[in-house]
Amino acid sequence: MLSWQAKGEHLGGERIFLPGQKKQLYSANPREVIDMAGVCKLSITETTEELKNLLTEQKTASGFQKIQALYLFKICHVKTVKELAMTIGVNRITVQRWLRKYRSEGLEGLLETKHSGGRKPAIPPLARASLAMRLSDPQKGFKSYGEIQEWLQQEYSIDASYKAVYATVRYQLKGKLTKV
């Protein structure tokens, strides 16, 4: 466990450092000395109660760890990034990346998850929007998925498979074919 001690002259309850003398952290092990550069200077705007509530609301493990990191700094349970990383069980660089993100983008940026792009849709958004409008109009609707395939080919030069058209209409657009 690290203790906050400084090497310097002690006068009336306050440490005085001579020029060139470093402020240092001393641990229980006398050989382990950590520069004060390891101490994180972070201003957390959320209260401890807000952070506790956010901890319970997190649905992902990474979101929980990120909020836990802020909470541990807020209650002064940990003082250094290294100590925090060891407590949470992640790499020090990961914690530094989280804190940098929190400083620049706030809590929303910290909790934002990136989604991989994945495969491009067989029917692009513009064609999908006009297909949705056409499906919602009973006068201009389609009688079959094959008819939708032909329409996409004529209007947008899209060669979509029957399966792609069916999945898009049925599951993504929640559309129905018009009855004969």
pLDDT digits (tens, 9 = 90+) for 131-175: 999 999 888 889 999 999 999 999 999 999 999 999 999 999 999
Range of the domain at 137: 125-172
One domain, residues 52 and 100: yes
Domain-embedded: residue 132: yes
Considering the domain architecture, whether residues 61 and 82 belong to the same structural domain is answered as: yes
Confidence of residue 108 (pLDDT cuts 50, 70, 90): very high
Determine the Cα–Cα distance for residues 133 and 136; give it in Å rounded to an integer.
5
Global pTM reads 0.50
**CA dist 112 to 60, 62, 98, 106, 149, Å?**
11, 10, 11, 10, 37
Of all residues in the chain, the percent with pLDDT exceeding 90 is 61
What pLDDT is recorded for position 104?
92
Determine, yes or no, domain membership for 147.
yes
Domain assignment present for residue 12? The answer is: yes
Half-sphere exposure of 38 (CA within 13 A, CB side): 19
Please tell me the total count of domains within the chain.
3
Show the tokens assigned to 123: 């029917």
Residue-level pLDDT at 42: 77
Tell me what the mean pLDDT of segment 91-117 comes to. Answer: 91
Q: Residue 55, Cβ neighbours under 10 Å: how many? A: 16
Of 79, 111, 143, the last residue of a domain is: 111
Are 100 and 74 found together in one domain?
Answer: yes
- What is the pLDDT, as a whole number, of residue 40? 66
Say if residue 103 is in the same domain as residue 59.
Answer: yes
Residue 118 is assigned to a structural domain of this protein: no
User: Looking at residue 145, what is its pLDDT?
Assistant: 96
Residues 135 and 86 in one domain: no
Is residue 20 over pLDDT 80?
no
Name, of 6-20, 28-42, 79-93, the range with top average pLDDT: 79-93
Q: Please state, in angstroms and rounded to a whole number, the distance separating the CA atoms of residues 169 and 152.
A: 12
- Looking at the fold, whether 136 and 154 belong to one and the same domain comes out as yes
150 and 104 inside one domain: no
Does residue 33 sit within a domain? yes
Q: Which of 3, 12, 62, 60 is nearest to 34 (CA)?
A: 3
Report CA torsion sign: 91, 29, 19, 78: positive
Please indicate, yes or no, if residue 119 is contained in any of the structural domains: no
Whether the predicted pLDDT of 25 surpasses 60: no
Residues 88 and 55 in one domain: yes
